[in-house]
């Protein structure tokens, strides 16, 4: 190979592309490393089994709340580990969909694996707009009206299974997000997500984050005992650690472990960030947006983010697209959202902030006119996007490559 050229082999969905870069390009690859094998978890798993056994000892029936198809949570793996204990009692399952659409049959199998056939008659998918399935519990200090799925009130014991990853306005997923937005009513989710317009509602931040604090208050309104199982899954989709017990304590401990997995250091911000979206977040553009928020932490103001995603199901919930298309400039988007907030607009606001900060090029199977109408530039390939960067920056620029942009968060000196 010509020593003047560096090659990057990029894979996404069922596609691959080899990118050639001149030697003048400064390239940093930010990818997670696996530091721990599954065998290290044997002691943790035995303690978890004992905890579940004790937790369920005095109840004939219980509820397990699990993540939906948009998360990399290895729910079936945990159910397999706990199978003996679960089968001793009458287990019911609630899929924490938030405001997402109902799962397909394939997605149910993705969540539950072989347990779907065994438990399908006792599996319910939460529907945020199904008013008859909700119970009102009061209001939070932020004024959020709290309506949760009635199963949370009906069952005497609840087990939650989450995974913890960085989140672009709640700070981190996991823990309290089981209840809000997971099994909350549409009105409750809307009120909470409107808080994402506040400056402290951002990636990695839990300190004085109004979205997270509101979620915490809702979780505390759940009166029945909750056994929380928090999973840390690395970039190779392997189980890294398990924290369990009290919801708040296990979440706090899990976040500390997750930081070591997902938050990788960079010494500076880069001219360009190449952000590749991997499963399960490559399902649609709505989910892929989370990778953009991570990429933003690594790009210079006025720089370029190249978003690459298979987007198997297209745009996804397209309300955020329509909100963006109503305005001629990104700043107008934010102003309009503040005046008339609708669920989905929180994503529009974050995107409007992003495209005001830097340029976004996309390599996605979505019509060019749609991409261009939301203040981004559609590209046919990664190579075309790189050529755009050459034209913008010249032959010498810096490039940060995120092979799994939704599960790696650049941590610059200013965030440490």
Q: Which of 5-14, 29-38, 90-99, 369-378 has the lowest mean pLDDT?
A: 29-38
Alpha-carbon separation of residue 185 from 94, 147, 150, 208 (angstroms): 14, 5, 10, 24
Residue 145, pLDDT score: 98
Give the tens place of pLDDT for each residue, 156-213.
999 999 999 999 999 999 999 999 999 999 999 999 999 999 999 999 999 999 999 9
Give the tens place of pLDDT for each residue, 86-107.
999 999 999 999 999 999 999 9
Q: Is the per-residue pLDDT at 414 higher than 70?
A: no
State the pTM of this model: 0.85
Structural domains in the chain (count):
2
What is the domain extent for residue 283? 5-30+266-411
Domain match, 306 and 226 both? no
Domain end: 261, 278, 293, which one? 261
Residue 162, pLDDT score: 96
Helix (H, G, I), strand (E, B) or coil at 65: strand
Domain match, 19 and 92 both? no
Nearest to 251 by CA among 166, 162, 329: 162
Q: What is the mean pLDDT of residues 374-401?
A: 96
Domain end: 261, 290, 310, which one? 261
Residue 344, pLDDT score: 78
What stretches of 24-101 show up as alpha helix (H) in DSSP?
Answer: 42-55, 75-81, 83-86
Domain match, 151 and 64 both? yes
Domain match, 46 and 148 both? yes
Domain match, 297 and 148 both? no
Residue 49, pLDDT score: 97
Domain match, 200 and 281 both? no
Q: What is the mean pLDDT of residues 98-117?
A: 95
Domain match, 191 and 45 both? yes
Query: In which band, very low, low, confident or very high, does the pLDDT at 295 lie, cut at 50, 70 and 90?
Result: very high
SS3 track for 225-275? CEEEEEEEECCCCCEEEEEEECHHHHHHHHHHHHHHHHEEECCCCEEEEEE
Residue 416 lies in a domain: no
Q: What is the mean pLDDT of residues 300-323?
A: 92
Q: What is the mean pLDDT of residues 206-231?
A: 98
Give the tens place of pLDDT for each residue, 132-151.
999 999 999 999 999 999 99
**Pairwise pLDDT comparison (324 vs 135), residue with the higher score:** 135
Query: In which band, very low, low, confident or very high, does the pLDDT at 338 lie, cut at 50, 70 and 90?
Result: confident
CB 199 within 8 A of CB 127: no
Interatomic CA distance for residues 356 and 146, integer angstroms: 34
Residue 48 lies in a domain: yes
Domain match, 105 and 247 both? yes
Domain end: 200, 227, 261, which one? 261
Q: Is the per-residue pLDDT at 406 higher than 60?
A: yes
Domain match, 212 and 79 both? yes
Domain match, 299 and 281 both? yes
Q: What is the mean pLDDT of residues 262-282?
A: 94
Domain match, 240 and 383 both? no
Residue 191 lies in a domain: yes
Q: Is the per-residue pLDDT at 36 higher than 50?
A: no
Domain match, 104 and 158 both? yes
Output the average pLDDT for the chain.
Answer: 92
């Amino acid at each position: 190979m010509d020593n003047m050229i560096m090659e990057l082999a990029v894979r996404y969905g069922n596609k691959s592309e080899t990118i050639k870069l001149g030697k003048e390009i400064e390239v940093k690859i930010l990818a997670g490393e696996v530091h721990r094998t599954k065998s290290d978890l044997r002691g943790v798993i035995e303690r978890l089994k004992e905890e579940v056994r004790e937790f369920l000892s005095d109840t004939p029936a219980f509820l397990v709340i699990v993540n939906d198809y948009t998360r990399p949570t290895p729910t079936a793996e945990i159910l397999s580990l706990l199978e003996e204990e679960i089968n001793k009692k009458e287990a019911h399952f609630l899929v924490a969909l938030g405001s997402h659409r109902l799962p397909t049959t394939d997605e149910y199998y993705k969540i539950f694996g072989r347990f779907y056939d065994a438990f399908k008659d006792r599996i319910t998918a939460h529907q945020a707009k199904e008013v008859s399935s909700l119970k009102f519990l009061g209001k939070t200090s932020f004024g959020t009206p709290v309506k949760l799925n009635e199963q949370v009130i009906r069952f005497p014991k609840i087990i939650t299974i989450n995974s913890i990853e960085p989140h672009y306005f709640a700070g981190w997923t996991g823990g309290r997000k089981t209840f809000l937005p997971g099994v909350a009513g549409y009105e409750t989710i809307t009120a909470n997500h409107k808080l994402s317009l506040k400056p402290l509602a951002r990636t990695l931040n839990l300190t004085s984050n109004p979205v997270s604090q509101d979620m915490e208050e809702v979780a505390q309104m759940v009166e029945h005992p909750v056994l929380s199982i928090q999973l840390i899954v690395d970039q190779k989709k392997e189980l890294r650690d398990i924290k369990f017990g009290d919801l708040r304590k296990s979440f706090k401990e899990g976040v500390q472990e997750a930081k070591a997995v997902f938050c990788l250091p960079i010494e500076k911000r880069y001219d360009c960030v190449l952000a590749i979206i991997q499963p399960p977040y490559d399902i649609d553009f709505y989910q892929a947006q989370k990778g953009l928020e991570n990429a933003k932490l690594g790009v210079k103001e006025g720089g370029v983010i190249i978003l690459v995603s298979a987007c198997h199901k297209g745009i996804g919930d397209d309300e955020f697209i329509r909100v963006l298309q109503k305005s001629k400039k990104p700043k107008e988007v934010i102003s309009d959202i503040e005046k008339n907030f609708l669920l989905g607009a929180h994503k529009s606001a974050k995107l409007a902030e992003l495209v005001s900060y830097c340029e976004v090029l996309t390599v996605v199977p979505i019509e060019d006119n749609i991409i261009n109408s939301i203040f981004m530039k559609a590209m046919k390939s990664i190579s075309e996007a790189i050529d755009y960067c050459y034209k913008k920056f010249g032959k010498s620029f810096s490039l940060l490559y995120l092979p799994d942009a939704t599960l790696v968060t650049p941590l610059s000196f200013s965030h440490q």
